[in-house]
Amino acid sequence: MTPWLQGLARLRQYPSALAGLGIIALLVAMAVYAVTAIPYSEARELWRGGEAWQDLPTNASPVWTDRLLGGNAPRTIRVATDDVVMEQERYEGVRLQRAVLPVDFPYGGFPQEINLFVESQFDERQPFVRLTWRTPDGESIPLDARRVGESERISISQDRQLESRLGFTPQVGLFTDAEPGADDPQVRQGTYELVIEAIQFEETATLDANLVVYGQVHGLFGTDHKRRDLTVALLWGTPVALAFGLLAAVGTTLTTLIIAATGVWFGGWVDAVIQRLTEINIILPLLPILVMVGTLYSTSIWLMLGVVVVLGIFSAGIKMYRSMLLPIREAPYIEAARAYGAGNARIILRYLVPRILPVLIPTFVTLIPTYVFLEASLAVLGLGDPVLPTWGKILNDAQAQSALYHGFYYWVLAPAALLMLTGLGFAMLGFALDRIFNPRLRNV
Amino acid sequence: MTTPQPSASASRAARGEPVLCVEGLQTHFDLRQWGFVRVGSVRAVDGVDFTLDAGETVAVVGESGCGKSSLARTLLALHRPTDGAIRFDGTPLNGLSGSALKAYRGRVGYVQQDPYGALPPFMDIQRILAEPLIIHGVRGRAERARRIDAALEEVGLTPAADTRGKFPHQLSGGQQQRVVIARALLLRPAMIIADEPVSMLDASVRVEILELLRRVQREHHLALLYITHDLSTVRHYVDRAMVMYGGRIVEQAPVAELLARPGHPYTEALLSALGDPDADNAHRQREVPGGEPPSLIQPPSGCRFHPRCRHAMPGKCELEPPPPDFRPRPDHRIACWLHE
């Protein structure tokens, strides 16, 4: 059994390490699920927004937070003509189609919006549609009556004329029995109906309607200002964050280590050049440089990753690794290796680097969340990848829409919680690994 | 390509040519200030001549800091000589590089003082022994495994299967040194340089390791350069001994001759400091040379031993360094004006 496996086996003695591993496993599972359930191209397409989300309310909080606080905010209700029987009567030259869409409304709050999406097929003459709203106690309220095109959105809640008739905005007035203009209208629960009557002038013409009564709450994580379900971005943020953190940590740690080892091994001017480069690089500010690259060039996440790795190579780590490697350089086994003919590259990669690699594992693990946070910080600063959904982008959107001012706490808390969970998981594992692999902390 | 083949070396040996021939060898280390201004040098090896025949065991004896380890490292091409010539199997070592240097390193084995430090702690024994074979292009896992097992068994680590999978820290000091010797033998060298191979081992295993070195040296007809500060281990295991002082060889002779009739005052002093298993010794006053080992940065003028020498001749020894080849007998060379 190699020392590596022995070290990993000792992880079992640290409950915090197991908890950290559990968190990391959860994140990895989320990442794998995200990548398999929503392919990369589809995720980018979805996050662009648009029609895919037209059935969802804007800025809806998660269902469970409302229920947890004892609320009964409405969910979104969708009823389509496909779900009900459409009656048909024939007259001379015209057909009258009639559909009744039931809206079961047991909630304690008014809906956010009411839209009817109508699609019809015809050759020349547009169908004529008349809409009537029926309350649970049989009262009928005439809504709109109009010709409809091939694909049309009838915004019932935007109907100003209806609003003045009802004395409330339509989404309130249609669901209450309060006197028009009352201060505190209450919801009347029960089953409402939307009656759609269409006059078709052509024999083959069709009509499909889709009523959406938008709720105040949605799903596990709510929606944002573009009606996008945050679940997509929270799920897809996981593989992006893990990949960014892991690649940046691996990229910087390994190259830094190899460069430090090269400097230590050759010494002389090679070492001097590496040390001076490091000293210059250490005083260069990373964030402003990234902001500059993002502003002037591109905010692609992979370009940012590249810049982070390149600037991370000649980092303070070189000094630390150098101090660890200098005594090893003089070790008799290195002298022996030279004496039996090992070349420079072999000595650096097989004799110097592996000697301190175990000590680096904890540093490396605790470095991963640092880069995850860096990516999120960049996104919050508006330098996030424009097409890829990430945790940082959610925070950026939330900040741009003043989410906290408007009380959309869920919008900030969910991505922040995931970021913190990531940090916690890797930190707990890293600290335990540090105790195992770092000889100075052993038996402490 | 000037790589000497084993058959060539065998024929050279048959003609009586030495395996190793060292002439006027100097290894100095520059002392620098601010990294580039040279302010002096450490004259670790300062004019050394000797030869080493095939199948011959020669000891280099001297106190700490006399330059014997620097001599070993220069012979292993780990340090670049400042001046002088080294010829191995008739091929000059100066300026050797690339594959020729690698080939030379494959023909010289190295046994170090600290067996634990000499083995990379993160590799198992199998891997440690495979390294030289991989470097020298021995292809095929099976072939390498066969040679590794043979080497382990040759140095007495039987069965090899018990040792192969272990890590250095799981072996005793003696076993570690056996692995080091196995590694030195793996590439079938013509010469082995052993730098204090037993000084860090328990007294109980020193004899075993020295016996092992002598056995493999005889079986493979190796030239063995045995570097030690301990004259007591020299008597039974070497053919010839050289005494080094202040970066120079002050006396060389067959070991029996040297021990019986030391010619240089420094050799005499070393011998008198040697413990003798005789009860009378406990009460005998010994003559031990006073003073410090000489500075290698600013060595004493003339004969480097003169400040500590009982027989120093004022007006002679401190002025002129003695030539290294006063010969009271044909195979006995002394660098001392007393033998002029």
pLDDT in tens, B221-230: 999 999 998 8
**Cα separations (Å) of A240 from A307, A422, B215, B309?**
17, 12, 64, 78
* pLDDT band (50, 70, 90) for residue A19: very high
Q: Which domains does chain A have, with CATH numbers?
A: 3-47+227-437 (1.10.3720), 75-214 (2.60.120)
Which residues of chain B make contact with A342, given a CB cutoff of 8 A?
A: 131, 135
**Tens digits of per-residue pLDDT, A371-393?**
999 889 888 888 888 788 889 99
* pLDDT band (50, 70, 90) for residue A94: confident
**What are the residues facing B192 on neighbouring strands?**
B109, B224
C-beta atoms surrounding A68 within 10 Å: 9
Which residues of chain A make contact with B120, given a CB cutoff of 8 A?
A: 333, 337, 351, 355
Interface check for B175 against chain A (CB to CB < 8 A): the answer is no
Task: Inspect the interface and report whether the beta carbons of A333 and B132 lie closer than 8 Å.
Answer: no
Closest residue to A340, CB basis, from B35, B105, B167:
B105
Tell me, what amino acid is at A87?
E
Task: Inspect the interface and report whether the beta carbons of B131 and A342 lie closer than 8 Å.
Answer: yes
Which residues of chain B make contact with A350, given a CB cutoff of 8 A?
A: 131
Query: Average of pLDDT values for A211-240?
Result: 91
CA distance B119 to chain A (A): 5
Which residues of chain A make contact with B101, given a CB cutoff of 8 A?
A: 341
Task: Inspect the interface and report whether the beta carbons of A355 and B110 lie closer than 8 Å.
Answer: no
H helical segments located in A267-352: 268-283, 286-296, 301-313, 316-329, 332-339, 344-346
What does the mean pLDDT of chain A come to? 89
Write out residues 31-90 of A within 8 Å (CB-CB) of B: none
Q: How far apart are CA A22 and CA A20, in angstroms?
A: 5
Output the pLDDT for position B282. 60
Is residue A223 over pLDDT 60? yes
Is residue A443 over pLDDT 60? no
Q: Are A99 and A86 in contact (CB under 8 A)?
A: yes
Q: Encoding tokens for residue B101?
A: 């240097």
Interface check for A339 against chain B (CB to CB < 8 A): the answer is yes
What is the full DSSP assignment across A295-314? HHT---HHHHHHHHHHHHHT
Higher pLDDT, residue B276 or A280: A280
Is residue B5 over pLDDT 60? no
ipTM of the complex: 0.87
Output the pLDDT for position A332. 93
Q: Which of A383, A387, A382 is nearest to A47 (CA)?
A: A387
Q: How far apart are CA B227 and CA B183, in angstroms?
A: 18
**Tens digits of per-residue pLDDT, A123-166?**
888 899 999 999 998 889 998 888 888 898 999 999 888 998 88
Is residue B2 over pLDDT 50? no
Name which of A63-67, A283-287, B13-17, B201-205 the model is least confident about: B13-17
| Percent of chain A's residues with pLDDT above 70 | 98
Query: Average of pLDDT values for A175-184?
Result: 84
φ, ψ at B261 (rounded to 5°): -130, 70
Output the pLDDT for position B57. 92
**Tens digits of per-residue pLDDT, A261-306?**
999 999 889 999 999 999 999 998 888 888 888 888 887 888 888 8
DSSP E strands in A74-230: the ranges are: 77-80, 87-90, 95-105, 113-121, 128-134, 140-147, 151-155, 190-200, 206-214
Output the pLDDT for position B279. 61
Interface check for B70 against chain A (CB to CB < 8 A): the answer is no
Q: Which of A196, A197, A207 is nearest to A102 (CA)?
A: A196
CA distance B327 to chain A (A): 35
Output the pLDDT for position A26. 95
Interface check for A329 against chain B (CB to CB < 8 A): the answer is no
Q: Are B188 and B133 in contact (CB under 8 A)?
A: no
**Tens digits of per-residue pLDDT, B20-71?**
999 889 999 888 877 678 888 888 888 899 999 988 999 999 888 888 899 9
Q: How far apart are CA B290 and CA B300, in angstroms?
A: 15
Higher pLDDT, residue A159 or B7: A159
Task: Inspect the interface and report whether the beta carbons of A337 and B131 lie closer than 8 Å.
Answer: yes
Interface check for A138 against chain B (CB to CB < 8 A): the answer is no
**Tens digits of per-residue pLDDT, A323-382?**
999 999 999 999 999 999 899 999 999 999 988 887 788 888 989 999 999 889 888 888
* pLDDT band (50, 70, 90) for residue B285: low
Is residue A430 over pLDDT 70? yes
Interface check for A349 against chain B (CB to CB < 8 A): the answer is no
Q: If residue B46 lies in a helix (H) or strand (E), which one and from where to where?
A: strand B37-52
Output the pLDDT for position B278. 63
Closest residue to B117, CB basis, from A332, A342, A350:
A332
Cis preceding linkage at A327, omega within 30: no
Output the pLDDT for position A440. 59
Q: CA angle, B41 as apex, B37 and B42 as ends, to 5°?
A: 145
Interface check for B22 against chain A (CB to CB < 8 A): the answer is no
**What are the residues facing B29 on neighbouring strands?**
B42
Interface check for A265 against chain B (CB to CB < 8 A): the answer is no
- Decide the pairing of beta strands B223-228 and B191-195: parallel
Q: Are B75 and B224 in contact (CB under 8 A)?
A: no
Output the pLDDT for position B4. 44
Interface check for A125 against chain B (CB to CB < 8 A): the answer is no
**B298 alpha carbon, distance to own chain's centre:** 25
**A340, A351, A437: which to substitute to probe chain B, counting the most B Cβ within 10 Å?**
A340
Q: Encoding tokens for residue B318?
A: 């401190």
Higher pLDDT, residue A38 or B96: A38
**Length in residues, chain A:** 444
Is residue B158 over pLDDT 60? yes
Q: How far apart are CA A398 and CA A411, in angstroms?
A: 6
Closest residue to A336, CB basis, from B35, B106, B112:
B112
| Percent of chain B's residues with pLDDT above 70 | 90
Query: Average of pLDDT values for B288-299?
Result: 77
| Residue A70 DSSP class | T
**Tens digits of per-residue pLDDT, A242-259?**
999 999 998 899 899 999
Is residue B3 over pLDDT 50? no
**A226 alpha carbon, distance to own chain's centre:** 13
Which residues of chain A make contact with B131, given a CB cutoff of 8 A?
A: 337, 340, 342, 350
Tell me, what amino acid is at B55?
G
What does the CA dihedral A406, A411, A413, A417 come to, rounded to 10 degrees?
Answer: -170
Is residue A50 over pLDDT 90? no
Q: If residue B244 lies in a helix (H) or strand (E), which one and from where to where?
A: strand B240-245
Q: Which of A322, A3, A358 is nearest to B127 (CA)?
A: A3
